[in-house]
Structure formats: C-alpha cells, structure tokens
Amino acid sequence: MRFDENLRQQAYDAVDNQFPVVKQDPYYPGYHMAPPAGLLNDPNGWIQWNGSYHLFFQWMPFHTGHGAKFWGHYRSENLIDWKLEPIALTPSDWFDKNGCYSGSAVADEDKLKVFYTGNVKNERGERQTYQCLAESADGIQFEKKGVKVHLPEGYTPHFRDPKVWKHKDHWYMVIGAQTTEEKGSVSFLESSDLENWTHRGVLSHAEADPFENLGYMWECPDLFPLGGREILLFSPQGLAADGIDFNNQYQSGYVVGSLDYSSASYVHGDFEELDRGFEFYAPQTTLDDQGRRILVGWMGVPDQNESEQPTVSNGWVHQMTLPRQLELKGEKVYQLPLDEMKNLRKHERYNQKVEGESSTSLSRAAEIEVSGEIDELNIFDNATISYDRDAKLLHLKRLSYVDGTIETRSCRLPNGLTHLRLFVDHSSLEIFVNDGEEVFTSRIFADVENDSLNVFTKNTAHLQIWDLKNDTIHIRD
Ligand code: FRU
C-alpha cells in the first residue's frame, strides 16, 4: 500500500475503534460538527460548490492532541444535515509530512481547488512551511499538485493558512505570517492562474496604524468585501488581556478597511474581537449563491486547557460553531444565525411572558429566544447570563471545566439589551445578543442530568423555547 493510503487507512481504523465510544458521550453535539474521533480544530476550505456546502477541518484522528493534521470533510445540501466524507488530505508528502495545515477552497472552471499549508519539521527540528495546491473534480477525492508558494524574504517560517479569492479576473491570497522582527502580519499575493504567485507585500502588521503592538503572530487571515468595505479577519497571538477584552489565550477579530488592489495598500480601523465567549478561534468565511457572507469558527482556542476538557477521556475534543451570516452595520460586523437554523426546530416547548422568577426544563438540544431586557438567565446550573443595566455590561459566567471555579466573559452594550437568541447543544452554548451585535460562543460541561433553565427579570419579557433536532451530523450511513 502507498504511504498515503496506509495513513488514510490508519485514520479510518481510528474512527472505527473510537466512534462507538465518542457517540455515547452525553457531551457529543447533536447538530454541530465535531470529530468522529480525535481532535478537530480550524474550519478549512469552506465553500458552496456544485450544489453542496463543503466544510473541511483540521483533524488529528489518532489522539486528542495536535500534530500532523489531516483535512477531514463534512458536506451538506441544506446547512442542517452534515455528512462525513472521505478524508480530503493526508500528511503524507515531503512538503506536508508534519501536517496539512489550514487553508481555503476556490472554484476554478470545473475543479474545486484547495490551498493549504504544508507543515514540515526538518532533521534539525526546524519548521518549514509551503503553500500547496490540491484539486478535485468531484469535490471528494483530491489530487495534490505540490508547492505553489515558497517562503518570501522577511518572514519566519510561521507563514501559513492561505485564503484565496478572485477579484475581477485575478486571484489573490492572504497568508498569516510573522515578520523576521517577530511581529504578526498578513502577507498579500497575486496570481493570474493560481499556479504562479507574486508576493505583493505586507497588507497589515502588528504595528500598522492604528495598532501599537498587536501580537507576535497572526493566524488564519480572511479578507472579503462586506457592505462596501473590505474586512480583514485574523487571529492574533500575543495580546495581553485588557479589562473585559482579550481574555482568552488567543484572540479572533477583524478590522474594517479599504483595499486598493493596484497599490496593495490596505487602510483600516482598530481591531475588534469577533466573539465574547470562552471558545472561539480561527473563523473562515465564504460567499454563497444567495450572496450571503457565511462564517464558521472553531469552538476552541489553542493552548487553552484543551487537554482538560472532559470529552478527552472519550477520545474526542472540540467542535465547530454554527454557520453565521455576517453583516456590516456602521463599523461593526454583526453575526446572525442563518435563516436555515429555524429548520433545526422540532417543536415548541415554551412560549410565555415572564416576570420575576421563572423556571422550566430544557433539553440538551435547544433554542431559546428572549425578547426584552432581562436580568439573569441560568442554564443547567452551570452558565449564567446576567445584565448590568447601570454599566450596560452583559456577562457570561460558567463553571470552569478545569476546577469548577466561576469564570467570566463580558461585553458592552451601548444601546442596552433587547434580545437574546441562544443555541444549546449538549456541551455548547452560542448566544446571539441584540440580533448579532455581539456573540458569546462557549463550551459548557454541565451535569448531564441537569435540565433546568431559570430566568429572572424585573421587567416583563417574552420567553420562547424550542427542542431542536439532535441527529443532524451523519458520521456513518
Ligand atoms: C490555528 C492553527 C493554524 C494552523 C492550524 C494547525 O488554530 O494553528 O495556524 O494552520 O491551526 O492545525
């Protein structure tokens, strides 16, 4: 057997062995994508192509740590039911032997083409990185086409995560990078044929106006038009916590700016965190045929107590977020659940006005909508959302899965709290505040027997709850 087939077979064997245990885990999601075994991290190659949405993902099938990543693959026609497809990329060649790292997909003529980073450790243990291409005629089987971009001068080998798009009749690529001065940056490349790439320069970096020092490495950049501007998303590493901001190990956020393609200059505003929760990183977007800019993020953060998550003992860790539609309002990116998410609803469990204290039961796959200004909402006696009217701060507190202590994340709501929409899925919680003005994305490892929802409100509010489908991720036929 060829090396890549052998490696692929080992990954399938790992799934055969581990998935029976994984699927019994009460924390395994019912409608979010998660690994069939091992560790899942970044969303990759996110695209609608030939009638299907494809979401590839960084995958370590053999254990719940990081290492030589594969590209796993989920596919969906309706954005609700996802089917696990054959492995797209295995780390089996000289240029990617220590990992087929993150990247993106584009449609070119009748092919689906993916660009990814080949991560290599040489004999001396030093990192080397190559930006590689692989192609597919059916969206399932990929053929590697080798290295298309070598490391340009001025960067360390922390140079990865190519995101490619077409503008007019040219192709462009952004790459997450570290300059030789060890500053985070985004590198910008151009090509007329996806084969030959010219390095156009640094698009932004840790000391670019208006930043002072925005970290030592920027991962997973994504540049796209939204509302007449160009948004640059990226995940900087090395920011110090600052009050309620930057509280996770690493951040994910965006700047709003204007890109001049001819001079390769990008003028932008300040860095904004995209999500206020505990677990969110490395998001990627795509444009679908309805003109929607849709984002998926990884519901995890590298190096943030990953090995302590309770699912590790069942041989899996992490999951994706729901797909979200982006909109630019003023200088702020809003994130909304896609309309299709209403198709997750099985039946309505609760629909009433609430005032004072109310309690009800909640299933492990549920959606909650609250209209009005509430004071507190508690889920499974583990996660509490509370609103401080005077400070106009919304807080999410949860019991730490490491030591049970209370941890807090917060956001400011300059115009107050009017609406909450929450998605609960076994061990995750996504909270959309004021129709996408802010989002909190977090894992919650509550007592699996606990099914309580408690609401406290001084004002009258309206509470609606649905039970959601619990079986939309199809790992096996
Ligand atoms: C972000 C990241 C990327 C890299 C990938 C490896 O989480 O570190 O920069 O390509 O994960 O799995």
| SS (HEC) of the chain | CCHHHHHHHHHHHHHHHHHHHHHHCCCCCCCCCCCCCEEEEEEEEEEEECCEEEEEEEEECCCCCCCCCEEEEEEECCCCCEEECCCCECCCCCCCCCCEEEEEEEEECCEEEEEEEEEEECCCCCEEEEEEEEEECCCCCCEEEEEEECCCCCEEEEEEEEEEEEECCEEEEEEEEEECCCCEEEEEEEECCCCCCEEEEEEEECCCCCCCCCCCEEEEEEEEEECCEEEEEEEEECCCCECCECCCCCCCEEEEEEEECCCCEEEECCCEECCCCCCCEEEEEEECCCCCEEEEEECCCCCCCHHHCHHHHHCEECCECCCEEEEEECCEEEEEECHHHHHHEEEEEEEEEEEEEEEEECCCEEEEEEECCCCEEEECCCEEEEEECCCCEEEEEEECCCCCCEEEEEEECCCCCCEEEEEEECCEEEEEECCCCEEEEEECCCCCCCCEEEEEEEEEEEEEEEEECCCCEECCC
Ligand 1 atom at minimum distance from 101 CA:
10
Ligand 1 centroid, distance to 102 Cα (angstroms): 6
Query: Is 58 close to ligand 1, i.e. is its CB under 6 Å away?
Result: yes
pLDDT digits (tens, 9 = 90+) for 322-348: 999 999 999 999 999 999 999 999 999
CA angle 279-284-285, nearest 5°?
130
pLDDT band at 413 (very low <50, low <70, confident <90, very high): very high
Alpha carbons 231 and 254: distance in angstroms, whole number: 7
Please say if the pLDDT value at position 35 is more than 70.
yes
- For the chain, what is the mean pLDDT? 97
Ligand 1 centroid, distance to 355 Cα (angstroms): 46
In whole angstroms, how far apart are CA 115 and each of 56, 163, 196, 224, 459?
Answer: 12, 7, 13, 17, 52
Query: Is 102 close to ligand 1, i.e. is its CB under 6 Å away?
Result: yes
Residue 275 annotated to the active site: no
Query: Is 163 close to ligand 1, i.e. is its CB under 6 Å away?
Result: no
Query: Is 42 close to ligand 1, i.e. is its CB under 6 Å away?
Result: yes
Q: Let me know how long the chain is.
A: 477
Ligand 1 centroid, distance to 117 Cα (angstroms): 9
Alpha carbons 162 and 237: distance in angstroms, whole number: 17
pLDDT at site 2 = 80
Site of tokens 């096996």: 476
Tell which one of 44, 58, 217 to mutate to probe ligand 1, the residue whose CB is within 8 A of the most ligand atoms.
58
Side-chain-facing half-sphere of 50: CA atoms under 13 Å: 16
Q: Domain residues of the chain, as ranges?
A: 2-337, 345-474
Matching CATH number, 2-337, of 2.115.10.20, 2.40.160.20, 3.30.2350.10, 2.60.40.420:
2.115.10.20
Query: Is 302 close to ligand 1, i.e. is its CB under 6 Å away?
Result: yes
pLDDT band at 476 (very low <50, low <70, confident <90, very high): confident
Ligand 1 centroid, distance to 147 Cα (angstroms): 18
Ligand 1 centroid, distance to 219 Cα (angstroms): 7
Ligand 1 atom at minimum distance from 119 CA:
10
Please say if the pLDDT value at position 379 is more than 90.
yes
pLDDT digits (tens, 9 = 90+) for 52-107: 999 999 999 999 999 999 999 999 999 999 999 999 999 999 999 999 999 999 99
Nearest CA among 329, 422, 414 for reference residue 371: 422
Ligand 1 centroid, distance to 4 Cα (angstroms): 21
Query: Is 160 close to ligand 1, i.e. is its CB under 6 Å away?
Result: yes
In whole angstroms, how far apart are CA 282 and each of 55, 149, 294, 296?
Answer: 14, 22, 14, 9
**Nearest residue CA, atom 6 of ligand 1?**
101
Beta bridge partners of 53: 48, 76
Q: Do 402 and 241 touch, CB atoms closer than 8 A?
A: no
Ligand 1 centroid, distance to 161 Cα (angstroms): 7
Say whether 345-474 and 2-337 share the same fold. Answer: no
Tell which one of 40, 102, 121 to mutate to probe ligand 1, the residue whose CB is within 8 A of the most ligand atoms.
102
pLDDT at site 1 = 64
Please say if the pLDDT value at position 290 is more than 90.
yes
Query: Is 87 close to ligand 1, i.e. is its CB under 6 Å away?
Result: no
- Region 170-179: mean pLDDT is 98
Residues 25, 42, 93, 161: which is the catalytic one?
42
| CATH superfamily name and code, 345-474 | Exo-inulinase; domain 1 (2.60.120.560)
Query: Is 67 close to ligand 1, i.e. is its CB under 6 Å away?
Result: no
Nearest CA among 125, 203, 121, 117 for reference residue 162: 117
Tell which one of 161, 175, 248 to mutate to probe ligand 1, the residue whose CB is within 8 A of the most ligand atoms.
161
Ligand 1 atom at minimum distance from 66 CA:
12
pLDDT band at 3 (very low <50, low <70, confident <90, very high): confident
pLDDT digits (tens, 9 = 90+) for 242-289: 999 999 999 999 999 999 999 999 999 999 999 999 999 999 999 999
Ligand 1 atom at minimum distance from 281 CA:
7
Tell which one of 39, 40, 42 to mutate to probe ligand 1, the residue whose CB is within 8 A of the most ligand atoms.
42
pLDDT digits (tens, 9 = 90+) for 100-149: 999 999 999 999 999 999 999 999 999 999 999 999 999 999 999 999 99
Query: Is 41 close to ligand 1, i.e. is its CB under 6 Å away?
Result: yes
Ligand 1 centroid, distance to 384 Cα (angstroms): 31
Query: Is 314 close to ligand 1, i.e. is its CB under 6 Å away?
Result: no
pLDDT at site 67 = 97
Ligand 1 centroid, distance to 31 Cα (angstroms): 24
pLDDT digits (tens, 9 = 90+) for 193-240: 999 999 999 999 999 999 999 999 999 999 999 999 999 999 999 999
Beta bridge partners of 474: 83
